[in-house]
Structures are given as structure tokens and as C-alpha cells.
């Protein structure tokens, strides 16, 4: 692994020379900060270094008062969206310790801003946190931690243009001589892809992969482009060629990619579900694994596929987070898994606890969206599961253009578009059946030659004939 700066020199001096001063006298602490950041950027967990967890432990042991060490340690927990200071007393205590350290030390302005941004994120003030990270990047465009934290948070808020532009502003400063600069290509390519600059995105992603074939965001970008273009042939070829790289992190598109043109689900999709997706979910326990499993299984069910007991693989992890309400995108996918196993009691608990928190959201960005977006979307899933298709459409159709705000990628949120179409198709109302056909015409114009769209159009035609 190539760390951000050469480990043969004093790390404290190297960071200072790069214009990114770290207020610690411990070279070991700087080294472990460097190793942690590098693994975060490269989406790896280097066992030879003890992984991210091991590096953070060594970092804080080397200098317990290293404020930026606490920033990256707490930030990685918060950015993972698996918990919050409201839920986790240990994390809350760690954040308070970080704040106290920052107030007792002569930190640089950049470091003070990092502390401030993370404090805002922890209290749910996501837009304000992004403003501060962007402020850091104006003066320090090669601050990778600020860049990554801003990108992730914009992604959570569905701020696609801001996610793209936050990288665009600093991209010219990441010259090839700066370690990890190729990864900025991958990060930038993803924002370009999400805002439909497919050609530019693919070019940058390809450049990144030419330098490092395991660049996670670059692989992610090209996989998404193939899915958005409904380019099944190139998508399958690319996924096969890069399987060793994406199997660790890029699950969300497998279901769509492995639908074949005949309108059946490829055996490869089922095989990957059984051999790769579920085991990964069980082994790492990450929120990402929960989301991707739930999304794929739900899409398969919408297509009429019998998924059997596969929901049982994800439900133990999902149920640990039913009352978290850290990110609405998490909530709706956890709800999918609860509906998948027909756990009505926990479903009601998820809805009730979200309703209660939404009554007094304060400055929490996600909870403020719950009444107009989160709760209607959750209720739409419940109504569809109960066979109340008219009600599903009534809840989902008015908010379909606002769903961008719950975050995730275009491909991930497409599951809700599919849900709306399936609900409308299943309605007895002629008006809603006509709506379904209109939505399919719209979809076909945006994604020509999509096997999924073709299957739904055939279903709509059959409904029309029967009607």
C-alpha cells in the first residue's frame, strides 16, 4: 500500500510540507493517521497494518491528545451511518473528548474547522458541516479527509451537483506527484456520472483504473454507467473482468446487471446472492451490506422472483438498527427486510419511533425530512406489502421528485420508481393503470433498450388487454 506520504521521512514534517499541519509531535501518530486515511480512501483494510481499527488504536495510543486523530476516528464512525451520538454513549463521550481537546490546544485554523464540521455532522446539521468542509478545501484543496467527508455527506443528502462540484473545485490541484491523486479521479467520476455526464465520467474512471485497477469509486462509476445505459453486454463483461475488485464493495448493481434480455433472472444473480452477498453481509456487519442485500431482494420480489428464506440472512443485522433513524435511506431499506420476513411488530416499532423523533427534529437534517418524505415512503412500502396498491400510488407519486433528498445513488433510488410502477400496474383503477403506462413511456425514453422496462411494458400491455 502506498501511504499518503513517504514513511521513510518524518511524517509530521511531511504533512507540514504539504500545507496540512498536524498538531502532534508524535511521528507514530502521524504515521497511523496517514495509514488510516489511506485505507479509507482506497476502501481497503490492510491486515499488515492491523486494518483501520488497528491503526486508530495505535494512533490514539501514540498520542492520546492528538485532536485530528480523534477527528478521523470519530468521523469514520459517524460517516458509516450505523450509529450516532444519540444512540451510542461511547461515541458521544468520544466526541465530547475531542471537543475538549480542541479547546485546550493551539490548533491550526484548518484543524479547528475539522472539529467544527464533525460536531455539526454529529448533531445532524449536515448542510452546515458540508459548508465547513468546503471552506477547508478552498484554502487546502489537497485535504483528503475534508474531501471525502464532504463527498459522503453530499451523497447522503442527495446533493448530486454539490457532490460533483466539491471535487471539481479541487481536482486541478491533485497533480500526479501527490499520492492518492488517482483516487480523486474516481471520486470525481462518480459525481459526474450521477449528474449524467457519462462520457466525462467514464473517461476519468478509466484513467483512474489504468493507474490502479482496484479503485473502488472508478469501478463503481463504470458499473453504474452500464446500468444507467442498460448496456447489458458491456456491463456483464466489465463486472466479470473486475470481479475481484467489486465483490468487496459494489453490490448494489448486481441484481440489475444480471437480469438478462430474455426477461428472466440469470443464474449468476442467484449465485452471487448465495455465495457473495449474504456471506459478506454476515461477515462484516456493515450498514452497506444491509442496504444492498435489502435492495436486491426487494427488486427481485417486485419481479416476481421467489427469494425463499434469503431475507433471513440480512434480518439479524437489520433488526439491530430499526430504532436508529440516523439516515432515512437506511430506514426504508431496513423496513424492506422487515416486510420481507413479515415482522409486523418490528415494522410498527420502526414507524412509531421515527414518527416520535420527527415531532421535534431540531436541527437534525434527516429527521426534518421524515414527515414529508421518510414516513410517506415507509408507509408506501407497507401499503404495497398489504396489497393496497391505490394507497401506495397516492403516497409515492406526489413525492417522487423529492426522493432525491433521501440520498443514495440514482441506481439505488430506482427501486422506488419500480415500486411506483408495479403499484400502479396492480391498481384496479383505469387512471392508475394509465399512469403506469405513462411512467413506462417516460422510463423508456430515458433508458432505451432496458430489459427491465421492456418486461414492465409487456406487463402493462397485458393489464390493458385484460382491462
In whole angstroms, what is the distance from residue 353 CA to residue 343 CA? 16
Instruction: Per-residue pLDDT tens, the chain, 467 aa: give them.
Output: 344 444 434 567 778 888 899 999 999 999 999 999 999 999 888 899 999 999 999 999 999 999 999 999 999 999 999 999 999 999 999 999 999 999 999 999 999 999 999 999 999 999 999 999 999 999 999 999 999 999 999 999 999 999 999 999 999 999 999 989 999 999 999 999 999 999 999 999 999 999 998 888 898 898 888 888 877 777 777 777 776 665 555 444 454 444 433 345 445 555 555 555 556 555 666 788 788 889 888 988 998 888 888 899 889 999 999 999 999 999 999 999 999 999 999 999 999 999 999 999 999 999 999 999 999 999 999 999 999 999 999 999 999 999 999 999 998 999 999 999 999 999 999 999 999 999 999 999 988 888 888 889 988 888 765 44
Which conformational region is residue 325 in: left (phi greater than 0), alpha (psi within -120 to 50 degrees), or beta?
Answer: left
Three-state DSSP string of 299-359: HHHHCCCCCCCCHHHHHHHHHHHCCCCCCHHHHHHHHHHHHHCCCHHHHHHHHHHHHHHHC
Say if residue 152 is in the same domain as residue 214.
Answer: no
Q: Do 112 and 237 lie in a common domain?
A: no
Do 157 and 38 share a structural domain? Answer: yes
Same domain, 29 and 101: yes
338 occurs within a structural domain: no
324 φ, ψ (degrees, to nearest 5) = -70, -60
In a domain, 400, yes or no: no
Q: Under the phi-then-psi rule, with left for phi > 0, alpha for psi from -120 to 50, and beta for the rest, what region is 263?
A: left
Indicate whether 375 belongs to any domain: no
> Is 370 a domain residue?
no
Domain end, chosen from 247, 274, 291, is at 247
In terms of Cα–Cα distance, which of 58, 68, 57, 56 is closest to 24?
68
HSE of 202, CA atoms in CB hemisphere, 13 A: 15
CB contact at 8 A, 292 and 277: yes
Among residues 159, 174, 189, the one where a domain terminates is 174
**Domain check: are 147 and 16 in the same one?**
yes
Instruction: Tell me, yes or no, whether 78 lies in a domain.
Output: yes
Q: Domain containing 23: what range?
A: 1-174
Predicted structure pTM score: 0.92
Query: Is there a single domain that holds both residue 5 and residue 37?
Result: yes
User: How far apart (Å, rounded) are the C-alpha atoms in residues 410 and 86?
Assistant: 29
Phi–psi pair at 259, nearest 5 degrees: -75, 130
* Residue 148 shares a structural domain with residue 36: yes
CATH of the domain at 234: 1.25.40
Question: Considering the domain boundaries, does residue 240 fall inside one?
Answer: yes
List, in order, residues 6 or more apart from 442 with CB less than 8 Å away: none
The CB density around residue 161, as the number of other CB atoms within 10 Å, is 12
Grid-cell match 461511547, residue found: 90
Question: Which residues are CB-contacts of 306 (< 8 A; sequence separation ≥ 6)?
Answer: none
Domain boundary among 157, 174, 191: 174
Asked if residue 278 is part of any domain, the answer here is no
Q: How many domains does the chain have?
A: 2
Asked if residue 214 is part of any domain, the answer here is: yes
Amino acid at each position: 500500500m502506498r501511504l499518503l506520504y513517504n514513511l521513510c521521512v518524518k511524517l509530521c514534517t511531511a504533512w507540514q510540507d504539504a500545507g496540512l499541519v498536524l498538531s502532534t509531535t508524535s511521528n507514530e501518530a502521524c504515521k497511523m493517521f496517514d495509514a488510516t486515511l489511506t485505507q479509507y480512501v482506497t476502501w481497503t483494510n490492510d491486515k499488515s497494518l492491523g486494518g483501520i481499527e488497528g491503526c486508530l488504536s495505535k494512533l490514539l495510543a501514540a498520542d492520546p491528545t492528538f485532536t485530528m486523530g480523534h477527528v478521523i476516528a470519530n468521523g469514520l464512525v459517524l460517516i458509516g451511518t450505523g450509529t450516532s451520538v444519540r444512540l451510542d454513549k461511547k461515541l458521544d463521550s468520544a466526541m465530547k473528548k475531542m471537543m475538549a481537546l480542541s479547546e485546550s490546544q493551539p490548533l491550526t485554523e484548518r484543524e479547528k474547522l475539522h472539529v467544527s464540521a464533525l460536531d455539526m455532522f454529529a448533531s445532524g446539521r449536515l448542510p452546515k458541516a458540508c459548508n465547513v468542509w468546503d471552506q477547508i478545501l478552498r484554502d487546502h484543496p489537497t485535504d483528503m479527509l475534508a474531501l471525502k467527508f464532504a463527498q459522503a455527506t453530499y451523497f447522503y443528502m442527495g446533493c448530486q451537483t454539490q457532490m460533483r462540484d466539491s471535487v471539481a473545485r479541487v481536482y486541478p490541484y491533485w497533480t500526479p506527484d501527490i499520492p492518492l491523486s488517482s483516487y480523486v479521479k474516481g471520486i470525481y467520476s462518480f459525481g459526474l456520472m450521477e449528474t449524467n455526464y457519462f462520457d466525462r465520467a467514464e473517461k476519468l474512471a478509466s484513467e483512474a483504473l489504468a493507474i490502479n485497477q482496484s479503485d473502488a469509486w472508478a469501478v463503481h462509476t463504470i458499473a453504474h454507467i452500464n446500468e444507467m445505459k442498460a448496456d447489458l453486454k458491456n456491463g456483464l463483461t466489465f463486472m466479470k473482468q473486475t470481479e475481484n475488485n467489486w465483490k468487496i464493495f459494489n453490490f448494489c448493481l448486481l441484481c440489475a446487471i444480471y437480469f438478462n434480455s430474455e426477461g428472466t433472472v440469470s443464474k449468476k444473480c442467484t449465485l452471487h446472492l448465495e455465495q457473495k452477498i449474504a456471506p459478506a453481509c454476515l461477515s462484516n456487519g456493515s450498514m452497506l451490506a444491509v442496504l444492498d442485500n435489502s435492495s436486491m431482494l426487494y427488486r427481485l420480489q417486485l419481479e416476481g422472483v421467489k427469494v425463499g428464506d434469503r431475507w433471513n440472512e440480512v434480518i439479524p443485522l437489520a433488526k439491530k438498527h430499526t430504532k436508529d433513524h440516523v439516515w432515512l435511506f437506511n430506514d426504508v431499506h431496513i423496513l424492506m427486510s422487515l416486510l420481507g420476513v413479515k415482522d409486523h411488530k418490528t415494522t410498527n416499532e420502526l414507524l412509531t419511533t421515527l414518527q416520535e423523533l420527527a415531532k421535534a427534529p431540531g436541527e437534525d437534517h434527516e429527521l426534518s425530512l421524515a414527515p414529508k418524505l421518510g414516513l410517506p415512503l415507509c408507509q408506501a412500502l407497507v401499503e404495497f406489502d398489504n396489497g393496497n396498491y391505490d394507497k401506495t400510488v397516492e403516497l409515492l407519486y406526489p413525492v417522487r421528485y423529492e426522493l432525491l433528498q433521501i440520498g443514495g445513488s440514482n441506481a439505488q433510488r430506482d427501486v422506488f420508481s419500480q415500486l411506483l410502477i408495479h403499484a400502479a400496474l396492480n391498481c384496479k383503477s383505469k387512471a392508475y393503470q394509465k399512469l403506469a403506462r405513462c411512467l413506462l413511456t417516460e422510463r423508456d425514453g430515458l433508458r432505451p433498450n432496458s430489459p427491465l422496462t421492456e418486461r414492465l411494458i409487456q406487463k402493462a400491455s397485458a393489464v390493458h388487454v385484460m382491462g
